[in-house]
A and B are shown apart, each in its own frame.
Chain A
Amino acid sequence: MEFLNYAIDLVAVLLLALGIKGLSKVRSARSANQLAAVAMALAVIGLLISYVGTPSFDGQAWAWIIVGTLVGGVLGAITAQRVPMTSMPETVALFNGCGGISSLLVALAAALFPGTLDDGTLVAVVSIVVSVFVGSITFTGSIVAMAKLQGWLSTPPWMQSKIRHLVNIALAVVCLVAAIKLIASDGSSHAALWLLVIASGLLGIGVTLPIGGADMPVVISLLNSYSGVAAAAAGFVVGSQLLIVAGAMVGAAGLILTQVMCNGMNRSLVSVLFGGALGAGSSSGGAGGEYTNITSCSVEECALTLEAAERVVIVPGYGLAVAQAQHTLREVTRSLEAAGIQVDYAIHPVAGRMPGHMNVLLAEADVPYEQLKEMDIINPDFPATDVVLVLGANDVVNPQAKNDPESPLYGMPVLDVQQARTVFVVKRGMSAGYSGIKNDLFELANTSMVFGDAKKVLGDLLGELKELGVGKK
């Protein structure tokens, strides 16, 4: 019997590892995700088998298991089906927060009822402390991240000042003191336990709240890694090697993914977390100067130019995702294609609301996969392009990153849109991108600004194109 359990656990771990591995390749990603789901089911079955027949595993326990499973599972399934693709970052944050609070609750249960889940040793107490601390931070941090991405919360002004570092350091010290007190009392001090829960929860809020919307994906990815750590710590508490290994795998993989994302955004993890915001230094450094030489044009002119083009490249960005304009965009490109115009999409690695998000959104709007060109592929094509349509992207098309060694953006990989014959930038106003840096592209002679919300401009554009009879031959 014991052998069977080990065998099930080993197979589950193997499948989980293969699942994570497969998720990093386009071809195998979907089946890998299903494989990981099977592995999780297997792990649960293994656990249930190992406890069948123990006296405490009675009808009452089954009843509570079924209630928890049904409520959580059904709500999860409904959420997963209903949530729009544009809200993916906050959805992942919400799911992640729930994973965090789950680990927190198990650790609380172990601490409040000593001897039932853990064996009361120092190892168990330390594991409880880690699980409570990380679980609590993950929970509040993820919920704040979700609320900020949804626009329910904005950063209070004092949070943007230096005071926040003092507050967070103070909270971290309180956590440390509570942790030491809890360990010293062998886990029996409930006051220390609750202090740890509250202080680490507040720390999660304090650390996440000042972080800007565009950096939030990195934070979510990091919190995702934390929830793996919390799970591993919970594994130490209840004595499950499977939980330890799976938690450790997710924790480590999440950390790597966070690093990969940071590289793509040309940001260091430290500057994301501690607010060495690109904008803060540069806007005072004169780079955020006024625009002097802006050409703006109407949607009508834009439509006329598009009609005459042979090759059009779309640069979708954050603004497009926020305006949920991907479907309208697809209609516009459909009519252009019908008129025999070659249309491609230039996808910057961090386009959208998080890396890879733009691919998901455009795929949802039925854009053929082959038309999504990665930056390195499309960059040599810009000189041969007639019209570039920049939709809600800013920093990723800033030529400063290539030309101006003084610029904070210098070195960041960008799309060379300025080499195209004509560039239209659809933007709501002249406000800076999230880096707060002036975009030289907007002042170039071949650039015209089309002001307005991406969805509305694209809707008008579609109307103009129809009037011109584009794609109606």
Chain B
Amino acid sequence: MDSLFLMGAATASQTPPLVNALWVLLLGSLLGFELIGKVPPTLHTPLMSGANAISGITMLAALTAIIKADGSTPLLILGSVSLGFALFNVIGGFLVTDRMLAMFSRKPARKENS
């Protein structure tokens, strides 16, 4: 087990070296905690929906799966289905968030101009 673990850290050709990856994970989490401090209740729903769209970033993994499939049909299908689900999440999520936010921005904008 221990030797495997070290191998993971040292020889990784595709996986980024574990330590780097963990740093990235740590800093990304801290950034996420800090980004949302005070959110007006008005924005809870759109923020949730927007963050949800971003979590569809896993489409990058699906794309990688297709690209690395190297002609293996089951892997191509798995990757493609995964990509479809992820894009459903991403496209749908961003569009629906935009629809919600468009309703908010309409009236305050008019108010400010007048």
Contact = CB atoms under 8 A, between A and B. Distances in A.
A176 interface: no
Contacts of B37: 24
Given A36-B54, A109-B82, A238-B64, A369 B111 contact: yes
A246 B57 contact: yes
Interface residues of A, number: 124
Interface string A107-147: 01110110011110111100000000000000000000000
Interface stretch (A42-50, A399-407, A414-422, A448-456): A42-50
Interface stretch (A25-33, A200-208, A286-294, A465-473): A25-33
Interface in B1-23: 1, 4-5, 7-9, 11-16, 18, 20-21
Contact of B28 (A186, A249, A369): A249
A254 B76 CA distance: 31
A69 B62 CA distance: 11
Interface string B66-79: 11111110111111
Given A24-B39, A79-B92, A256-B32, A117 B86 contact: no
Interface in A230-249: 230-232, 234-249
Interface residues of B, number: 99
Given A68-B87, A69-B87, A221-B48, A119 B13 contact: yes
Main secondary structure of the interface of B (DSSP, over half): helix
A156 interface: no
A124 B11 CA distance: 13
Contact of A61 (B59, B74, B76, B89): B76
23 contacts: A24-B37, A51-B67, A65-B63, A65-B80, A73-B87, A92-B52, A95-B56, A99-B89, A101-B85, A102-B58, A109-B82, A118-B14, A121-B12, A123-B15, A236-B21, A239-B14, A240-B60, A243-B58, A244-B21, A355-B45, A356-B42, A356-B43, A360-B45
